[in-house]
Structure 1
Amino acid sequence: MKSALKIDVDVSMNASVESLKDSSVINEISKKVIDILKEKGHKARLSAVEKASKNAVSLLLTKKNGKAPTFLSVYIPANVVESLCDTVVPTVSSDDDSSTRSVSEDDGIESDSCASQNSSSNSHDRHISFSVCNEVMKVDMTFEYLFDYFKYSLSKNNRAMNLDRILSDICAYIFLQLKCSVYIRKLKKEISLQISRIVQSARVRAAGKSVIHILRKIGNFTFFLKFINPLTEVQSIGEFIQYRNKDNSSPILLIRKTNDETDVFQFYPWLNMVEITFNDMFVKKTLSSFDVLGVLNIDELSYLISECAFISNLRLDILAVEEALKTNILFDCTSSSSSSYFSILVGKAEQIDEPRDDCDQIPTNDSPSFSEEEIDAIIGRTYTTRGVKRSYEEDPILIEPKRNKYRQNKMIKDKRDLLHLKDTYYLTDAALKAIFEYVQSKKKLVSLKEIERLRKKTNSKFPILHTKTSAYVRFEYAVRTAIFVACKYEHKLDQFDTLNIRFNMDGTLIGNKHIVAISINCIEGGSQCQAAKNLIPLGLFEVQKENTELLRQSLPSEFINDIKSVKYISIGEKNISIRIRLGGDLMNAVYVFGLAGFSSNHPCIFCTQHKDDLHVTDDTAYDKTVTEGKGKNKQTITIHVGPTSCHDLTKKARSLTEQTLCLTKNTNELGYKCEPLFGDLFDYQDYCADTLHMKLRVFDVILKDMLAYASRTGKYGGEHLAIIERKIKILNQHCERTVGKRFFFQVDTDDKNKTISSHGKLSGHLQDLFFVDSFPYDDILNGEIAKSARIVVNKFKEILVEVKHTSIRRKGVLKRLSLEFVKEFRQSGLRTTVTPYIHIIGNHLFEFDEFSNLGDYNMQGVEKNNDLLSRLYFSSTNPARNPLLTMLQKLYRMLEMNFQDEKQREAMARFACTGVYDFVEEDLSESESESQSKDNSCYLNEEDDDQSESESEENFDTLKGDISVEVDDEVDSEESLVWAPEKRFPVKPVARSQDRFKSFRRS
């Protein structure tokens, strides 16, 4: 180490490394270091040596050798090491002063390094006195008071002298007794200069003798400070008494006395800078809020600075000043400062009314201190010596601030009130965080009246039709909006011959209401259009229960007929047909197609395979003997049971024609219950299984079967219960390691057999974490069953991985994995039958992957949208009047905000209502677009009017009076754009069955 002196100390007497941490051993090591330093002609403070010894022991402990070393290397910083002859100059003469000099007097003083220059004597008041004559302040100080400063000046320390104690005493007298102002930086420089000259004079007078001895003989020292500014009392600022002169450049002194505490604040303009000084009472109050909230509260200081700047007619960067204040306070808090007064120098200040002339900026007395001739006349002739140039630097010590109980209690009350508001008005953490970020971004909070006006204006864009139990938009409007959103991600929609619109229909329970939410998205727009924020809301309907007949009664016939009327859309010069595809889980498909459901003899949605043969795949086809007829007509025949298909009618694929024929019979053996909900709008080939629900249901079945098998122990009574509890403990430990305590297992007390039951919700991503390779199969299942269950889970994981391969299609891989999974599932011994979802995996999943992209029918975004609906319902401002309307309006407002540009939002609204938008030429340059838009007023005007927005100057405190109930939200839809394209354009509208979405492209 270049900046440290290495001392090797013998520590072989210690038994172990841990024994070196003992305080007595540290003291012994420190004494040995001091002795070695004396032998080398050096010395150091005892505190510095002890600190270095502790660091050496800590460094040794980090090596973790476990062996006690013979020698310990202690590194002493070079800046604390002094030579024994630095401050006591030996004499070569036989002077009496030299012979009478006591070793304990000088060397003892020099070796006493425990006392720091920052420490202050409790009785220092009697060692310093003040007097004033002709605006010159005379300060008398004793040798004891200045001893630390003298010793510091005689040392080789390169750091600047810490004058906090002297400054605190002088400033207290100037501010509180004289009611004057002083420039702190000049004061520090002058005191340091006079101390240096006193020491230099003592060196000259010592003539090779002890300098400290000479200074001690002098005893008393006088400092003359003549740059204090008398002030007069003027009008107070709040609770602060103000002292200042009449001119604008006069310093300002503010003093406030409350509860035996005195707050002092000085605002001192000097040249192009402003010095701000305040005492430690402000710092303590600021740090009290920092300890409670972690935020420095400098509002009072900022207010005083602003007022003083206004009085002095100065323009300051208040934000920069606040940052400088926070930095200065935190630096003094974390450093070792013991000052009672803190000062900062802020950036350049300018006169607001008139600039200062160059002559005004030069003070009349550029150097308010005494000249060298005056100093020599006071303390004697001095000579300059060559020494190390020291740069001024604060060297404070840490003081624990005394907390202001009043401010602390007020802060606690404010926090509790905010928590009460959050709980009372159901503000989420995300909402509160968003509000804080909005305010911190310097955006203005407008009144609630302005927000309501903007909400009504935005709602008027959406042509929502609503009844008491429904709220929906025209299907044409929703499709156009979906295409506009899809164009954001796929710019070549005009190259498709057919656009597929996914019709998402899913039921959810919100409070005590069954809500059926219907949304759409354009499949060609990609996976981004499936996200919850990009789904286009079509309608919200309240139903008593989810089944086909009740849905038929709840959905308005106009709504269903409007969906059926959609045929084509025109993008550019090309007419593109619209094909509506059905999305949703299997239960939703049961309701839409009018099937009997999973409890019937033919539970599959896509084929008419009997429930006893759901396990049959390509690998397990067989011939079965069945009996047909009754009585004399009874006969036995052999039929071939093979795999089924979702599109091949020869392999038992369902069709609407077959459904019509079956419904005419009295007995239904193929699972058809009633007519489809939407008639012939959806064919069975328009529906594709949802991989999200497939994953959830299959994993649920596997877990249920494993728990059922693990619950069969072959024992009875207490022995059986002990085995069950041991397995539950193992499963719960696995849950805590993977998914946490949100999902757990316990004994099913309702079952007399005492089986294992699961509790909690295991969603999709949690299932991935739960069914890992470390799952305790062997601990809860027997050997062969455990091995089979592991294989089944891994096979299903391979299927899920293959389904996610959207970029590369590997022909035949998914079919092979599906057949292997069904085979392993049947051979595992968990159950003898298969569920409809497992049947779909073995027969139809690879067909879906062959004819379409399975990722296009994932319902994860729809499920997230259901969660959003629940939050919107309970946060609605008028749930008792028309919650469905309010929810649909909010959904469209959130959809609109996906486009940050206001012109894009206006374009989306215009295209959704009128069909006027040119996707082909939307990338034209701005000038070309503007020139073409002037030729035809039917198109979207892309020029923004240069209108200056007038900001509301209402006080935030009066916002309570602007609160109005959203009872007019229902009226907004009636005032919205009327669905009548023939009223907007002089052309005759096209019939519904022909080119329904024909847009009017520019010629």
Structure 2
Amino acid sequence: MTIKPVNLEKILRDICSYVFVELRFSIDVRALKNELSRQIGHILQSARERAGGKSIINSLRMSSFFTLVFKCIKPLKQVPPIKDYQQYRNDDSMSSILLLRASNEKNYLLQFYPHSNSVDVTFNEIWIEEALSSFDLVGVMHVDDLSYLIRECALTHNINLDVENLLEMLKTEILSCRSTFSPAPRLLTVVLKLNKKDCIRTSDDQNAVDDHQSFSAAEIDAIIGRTYTTRGIKRSYEEDSIAIEPNRNKYREIKLSKDKRDLLHLKDTYHLTDSAFNAIFQFIKSKKKLCSLAEIERLRIKTNSKFPILFTKTSAYVRFEYAVRTAIFVARKHEPKLEQFDTLNVRFNMDGTLIGNKHIVAISINCIEGGYPCQSSKNLVPLGLFEVQKENTELLRQTLPTEFIADIKSVKQISLGAKIVDIRIRLGGDLMNAVYVFGLAGFSSNYPGVFCTQHKNDLHVAEDTAYDKTVTEGKGKNKRTTIVHVGPTSYRDVTKRARSLAEQTSCLATKVNDLGYKCEPLFGDLFDYQDYCIDTLHLKLRIFYVILKDILSHASRTDKDGADHLNIIQQTIKILNKHCEKSVGKRFFFQVDSDNNNKTIASHGKLSGLLQDQFFIDSFPYDDILDDGIAKSARIVVKKFKEILHEIKHTSIKRKGVLKRLSLEFVKEFRQSGLRTTVTPYIHIIGNHLYEFDEFNNLGDYNMQGVEKNNDLLSRLYFSSTNSAKNPLLTMLQKLYRMLEMNFQDEKERNLMREFARTGVYDFVEEDTAESDSADYSPTRHNKVDDLENEDASDQDFSSHTRETEEEEYDEETELDKSMVWEPGKRFNATLLPRSENRFKSFRRS
């Protein structure tokens, strides 16, 4: 059995941490050390007497715990803070001062404990880490904040410290911990000598250590046995014989303060976020070097030249085959068995966003077989960015280049090594995007459905609410009355009013806007109506918005007029805002609608998907703002909708009939709740199509959360674009591809991805030969030599580099743009080599 020695330092640290942080009391650390050693000595002496000359280990094991009593701990009371630090001390002149602060998951701790002729300053590892971090980074140890707090504590007790040597004392003690410093929590006590005793302090230090109560070295040896030291006694800090020049230290302090202020001004002037500033700091800390902007610009131009981007004044895009191959490469990273599929489904994400005063349509793709990670914003493959005056089918038809649409239609298959894989394009986006793509009349028409041709008056009809309707046509003698059965609709079965391209063609040939068909589809026959699936993110957002809007509408109705009505509305708003603060914070709030003479309640702020879950919780004040009947119905409607969301999101195995039952129950409760008399297109989808989508598709494959996050990124990229006056769309698309490339940390992988995206083939013979040659020498030594050579070369470039003019940079960009060569010639006409010789590296089996 391994016997570990007692770690007195750890016991001391644990006691101090508990007393300082939990109790907020003070400790005389020096007295605590003596009391701890004395009481442990008593325990050992008692155990030795009980053992009777035998080993004392068994005697000590008879007690499961030991009680230690310390007299050096004193309570404190909280007083006004110093700076941002909570201060604890008593009213007497010899009281210790305890300072605490919690910031960014870091707990700063400092105790100022005065004695008759010295002061003990105890602080925790956070101060040590920050001081050593600055020393490792720039070679200067920053202890200004620590010395400032010590001086403030000294002024509180009118103590005269040796201010000139205070900084040097702290730096010396912290540096002495550098070789023994570990991530484990620790405390450091620095003893500061006073220049002279204060005239007010006439009495001896009441908290000084009573050395007569502690054991001598001979007595401790008699109790626990003789001990031998393995190293000499550590000498205390002594002042160097060469006096430190006060003026030099003062100059350094002033210079550091000025540099910090200049750096803060630089951060504020150029709008550097905290995360960006911290990322640059960490990069310099790890790499020990920062390249010039000219070097970064040259690298950016070189990297951009590798992307075959076609651009005009209002568009920037890549060839569809290039984007598909890139998406396959990204998907292969998350799905190793991707090459086993005979058909790959590519989701075509098309969404519009307003950036400033410009409407930008962003198109991206991802491979569905790659799984959910490929839907994240960082893994979406950009296809194109287009500027439009307004989002509608005809303007999009005029904006999207004809060759761009034709190129998308031409890609039916992709070669993966020796295998030809079919490509099926699926449409992704919200319902409004589908309206533009399919050329529909929209939600304001008599047939607002995207998937079926149900009349707007019958959107509430589901499987359990079908009925027979009497329809009258014609006038006079030609008047005819027929009975039409109105039943549920489908998105696949044309006999149940499902939309189809054939029906659209026949309707447009006879009458425009018949059954909601407005014009030809934007991409022709590229997308069938069955290629589109509902986006569950927008489904959730829109329905929760409808429910909240109806709740506010009923809460704004009172039986009073004038001031009485306004008082009731304000009380309701107060209840709602109180619920907002508890659930989602102050980012979302309610107030009286100033544009409405009826004094209704209006919501302000953005309520995203996650915030909606936190807002519509069980403690929502339905009963406080609504009548009893409406409150009960609204609570049931929200509960039913949450059950649908839970079934969609959290059920890995599809349970037959469960989602259909929940959908029908939700539509029924919504109709009976009295919140509104009509049904929106999204609620119609729940009652008729949602369970169909779940049966024939995976609803998670069509979630647009990553696309929405990508739209937010586009807004930031547009306003931070370095050449927004020239070609902002080109700059944005280039940056998106640079960010996509950095998902692969290895430069070889990035080069292979570009090679595969351009040509679809890759020769592994050269790479295998290079790998075999590289086995003859040590890669560690080789990397070190390369690093040294690169550093020397970059230093020379940095010192000798002069900034080029804008005309020279523009000429260089023009030459590089001309070098962007698209190479699709090897797509299918290339002679495919055997599988082992002609396979992309990412598709190899492990």
The two structures share one fold, judged by TM-score above 0.5: yes
TM superposition shift of 1:778: 0.4
Question: How has the CA–CA distance of structure 1 residues 988 and 668 changed in structure 2, closer, same or farther, with 3 Å as cutoff?
Answer: closer
Match of 2:721 in 1: 876
Question: How has the CA–CA distance of structure 1 residues 723 and 915 changed in structure 2, closer, same or farther, with 3 Å as cutoff?
Answer: same
Match of 2:526 in 1: 681
Match of 2:823 in 1: 980
Counterpart AA for 1:980: E
Counterpart AA for 1:765: L
Number of residues paired by the alignment? 652
Counterpart AA for 1:336: V
Match of 1:904 in 2: 749
TM superposition shift of 1:634: 1.2
Alignment of structure 1 residues 552-567 onto 2, 5 Å: 552-567=397-412
Match of 2:202 in 1: none
Match of 2:578 among 728, 733, 748: 733
- Once residues 57 and 417 of structure 1 are traced to their aligned partners in structure 2, the CA distance between those partners, rounded to angstroms, is 40
Question: How has the CA–CA distance of structure 1 residues 972 and 471 changed in structure 2, closer, same or farther, with 3 Å as cutoff?
Answer: farther
Contact 2:377 2:710 in 1 (8 A): yes
TM superposition shift of 1:416: 3.3
Answering whether residue 635 of structure 2 is matched by residue 790 of structure 1, we say: yes
Match of 1:337 in 2: 192
Answering whether residue 675 of structure 2 is matched by residue 830 of structure 1, we say: yes
Answering whether residue 693 of structure 2 is matched by residue 812 of structure 1, we say: no
Contact 1:771 1:793 in 2 (8 A): yes
TM superposition shift of 1:452: 1.6
SS at match of 1:335: strand
Contact 2:117 2:194 in 1 (8 A): no
Contact 1:470 1:539 in 2 (8 A): yes
TM superposition shift of 1:675: 0.4
- Once residues 440 and 816 of structure 2 are traced to their aligned partners in structure 1, the CA distance between those partners, rounded to angstroms, is 37
TM superposition shift of 1:442: 3.3
Counterpart AA for 1:834: V
- Once residues 285 and 56 of structure 1 are traced to their aligned partners in structure 2, the CA distance between those partners, rounded to angstroms, is 29
Answering whether residue 771 of structure 2 is matched by residue 888 of structure 1, we say: no
Match of 2:319 in 1: 474
SS at match of 1:664: helix
- Once residues 635 and 716 of structure 2 are traced to their aligned partners in structure 1, the CA distance between those partners, rounded to angstroms, is 39
- Once residues 142 and 506 of structure 2 are traced to their aligned partners in structure 1, the CA distance between those partners, rounded to angstroms, is 89
SS at match of 1:825: helix
Match of 1:543 in 2: 388
Answering whether residue 240 of structure 2 is matched by residue 420 of structure 1, we say: no
SS at match of 2:360: strand
TM superposition shift of 1:705: 0.1
Match of 1:669 among 514, 517, 522: 514
- Once residues 819 and 651 of structure 2 are traced to their aligned partners in structure 1, the CA distance between those partners, rounded to angstroms, is 42
- Once residues 433 and 968 of structure 1 are traced to their aligned partners in structure 2, the CA distance between those partners, rounded to angstroms, is 35
- Once residues 448 and 793 of structure 2 are traced to their aligned partners in structure 1, the CA distance between those partners, rounded to angstroms, is 63
Higher RCO (C-alpha 8 Å, min separation 6): 2
- Once residues 830 and 331 of structure 1 are traced to their aligned partners in structure 2, the CA distance between those partners, rounded to angstroms, is 62
- Once residues 960 and 451 of structure 1 are traced to their aligned partners in structure 2, the CA distance between those partners, rounded to angstroms, is 14
| Residues 52-111 of structure 1 deviation map (CA, whole Å, 9 limit, x = unaligned) | 3974999xxxxxxxxxxxxxxxxxxxxxxxxxxxxxxxxxxxxxxxxxxxxxxxxxxxxx
Alignment of structure 1 residues 629-644 onto 2, 5 Å: 629-644=474-489
- Once residues 869 and 447 of structure 1 are traced to their aligned partners in structure 2, the CA distance between those partners, rounded to angstroms, is 26
TM superposition shift of 1:429: 1.6
TM superposition shift of 1:643: 0.3
Range 624-633 or range 706-715, more displaced: 624-633
Question: How has the CA–CA distance of structure 1 residues 896 and 955 changed in structure 2, closer, same or farther, with 3 Å as cutoff?
Answer: closer
| Residues 789-811 of structure 1 deviation map (CA, whole Å, 9 limit, x = unaligned) | 01101111111111113521111
| Residues 503-531 of structure 1 deviation map (CA, whole Å, 9 limit, x = unaligned) | 00000111111110000000000000000
Question: How has the CA–CA distance of structure 1 residues 696 and 976 changed in structure 2, closer, same or farther, with 3 Å as cutoff?
Answer: farther
SS at match of 2:423: strand
TM superposition shift of 1:884: 0.6
TM superposition shift of 1:439: 1.0
Match of 2:136 in 1: none
SS at match of 2:192: coil
Answering whether residue 761 of structure 2 is matched by residue 916 of structure 1, we say: yes
Match of 1:853 in 2: 698
SS at match of 1:794: helix
| Residues 831-867 of structure 1 deviation map (CA, whole Å, 9 limit, x = unaligned) | 0111000000110011111111000000000001011
Match of 1:437 among 268, 272, 282: 282
Match of 1:52 in 2: 71
Question: How has the CA–CA distance of structure 1 residues 338 and 679 changed in structure 2, closer, same or farther, with 3 Å as cutoff?
Answer: same
Match of 2:795 among 953, 962, 987: 953
TM superposition shift of 1:453: 1.8
- Once residues 565 and 886 of structure 1 are traced to their aligned partners in structure 2, the CA distance between those partners, rounded to angstroms, is 27
- Once residues 960 and 944 of structure 1 are traced to their aligned partners in structure 2, the CA distance between those partners, rounded to angstroms, is 29
Match of 2:300 in 1: 455
Contact 1:285 1:407 in 2 (8 A): no
Match of 2:133 in 1: none
Match of 1:136 in 2: none
TM superposition shift of 1:605: 0.3
TM superposition shift of 1:577: 0.7
- Once residues 720 and 476 of structure 1 are traced to their aligned partners in structure 2, the CA distance between those partners, rounded to angstroms, is 63
- Once residues 813 and 150 of structure 2 are traced to their aligned partners in structure 1, the CA distance between those partners, rounded to angstroms, is 50
- Once residues 364 and 574 of structure 2 are traced to their aligned partners in structure 1, the CA distance between those partners, rounded to angstroms, is 44
- Once residues 544 and 774 of structure 1 are traced to their aligned partners in structure 2, the CA distance between those partners, rounded to angstroms, is 45
- Once residues 854 and 872 of structure 1 are traced to their aligned partners in structure 2, the CA distance between those partners, rounded to angstroms, is 30
Range 746-755 or range 523-532, more displaced: 746-755
| Residues 366-404 of structure 1 deviation map (CA, whole Å, 9 limit, x = unaligned) | xxxxxxxxxxxxxxxxxxx978799667599xxxxx998
Query: Computing the radius of gyration over CA atoms, which structure comes out larger, 1 or 2?
Result: 1
Match of 2:566 in 1: 721
Contact 1:459 1:976 in 2 (8 A): no
Contact 2:460 2:678 in 1 (8 A): yes
- Once residues 327 and 404 of structure 2 are traced to their aligned partners in structure 1, the CA distance between those partners, rounded to angstroms, is 18
Question: How has the CA–CA distance of structure 1 residues 331 and 555 changed in structure 2, closer, same or farther, with 3 Å as cutoff?
Answer: closer
Answering whether residue 535 of structure 2 is matched by residue 706 of structure 1, we say: no
TM superposition shift of 1:975: 3.8
Alignment of structure 1 residues 368-383 onto 2, 5 Å: none
- Once residues 181 and 759 of structure 2 are traced to their aligned partners in structure 1, the CA distance between those partners, rounded to angstroms, is 57
Match of 1:574 among 419, 433, 455: 419
Question: How has the CA–CA distance of structure 1 residues 573 and 960 changed in structure 2, closer, same or farther, with 3 Å as cutoff?
Answer: closer
Match of 2:349 in 1: 504
| Residues 249-306 of structure 1 deviation map (CA, whole Å, 9 limit, x = unaligned) | xxxxxxxxxxxxxxxxxxxxxxxxxxxxxxxxx99979557889xxxx99x989x99x
SS at match of 2:420: strand
SS at match of 2:795: coil
- Once residues 590 and 729 of structure 1 are traced to their aligned partners in structure 2, the CA distance between those partners, rounded to angstroms, is 40
For normalisation by structure 1, the TM-score amounts to 0.59
For normalisation by structure 2, the TM-score amounts to 0.70
- Once residues 670 and 768 of structure 1 are traced to their aligned partners in structure 2, the CA distance between those partners, rounded to angstroms, is 37
User: Cα RMSD between the aligned structures?
Assistant: 4.3
Question: How has the CA–CA distance of structure 1 residues 411 and 320 changed in structure 2, closer, same or farther, with 3 Å as cutoff?
Answer: closer
| Residues 4-58 of structure 1 deviation map (CA, whole Å, 9 limit, x = unaligned) | xxxxxxxxxxxxxxxxxxxxxxxxxxxxxxxxxxxxxxxxxxxxxxx93974999
TM superposition shift of 1:338: 1.2
Question: How has the CA–CA distance of structure 1 residues 724 and 463 changed in structure 2, closer, same or farther, with 3 Å as cutoff?
Answer: same
Question: How has the CA–CA distance of structure 1 residues 980 and 333 changed in structure 2, closer, same or farther, with 3 Å as cutoff?
Answer: closer
- Once residues 337 and 981 of structure 1 are traced to their aligned partners in structure 2, the CA distance between those partners, rounded to angstroms, is 76
Alignment of structure 1 residues 316-395 onto 2, 5 Å: 323=178, 334-338=189-193
- Once residues 627 and 795 of structure 2 are traced to their aligned partners in structure 1, the CA distance between those partners, rounded to angstroms, is 76
- Once residues 969 and 832 of structure 1 are traced to their aligned partners in structure 2, the CA distance between those partners, rounded to angstroms, is 64
SS at match of 2:472: strand
Match of 1:620 in 2: 465
Match of 1:697 in 2: 542
Contact 2:508 2:514 in 1 (8 A): no
Contact 1:336 1:395 in 2 (8 A): no
Contact 1:474 1:559 in 2 (8 A): yes
- Once residues 749 and 736 of structure 1 are traced to their aligned partners in structure 2, the CA distance between those partners, rounded to angstroms, is 22
Alignment of structure 1 residues 55-454 onto 2, 5 Å: 55=74, 118=117, 287-288=146-147, 323=178, 334-338=189-193, 410-454=255-299
Match of 2:11 in 1: none
SS at match of 1:486: helix
- Once residues 953 and 770 of structure 1 are traced to their aligned partners in structure 2, the CA distance between those partners, rounded to angstroms, is 56
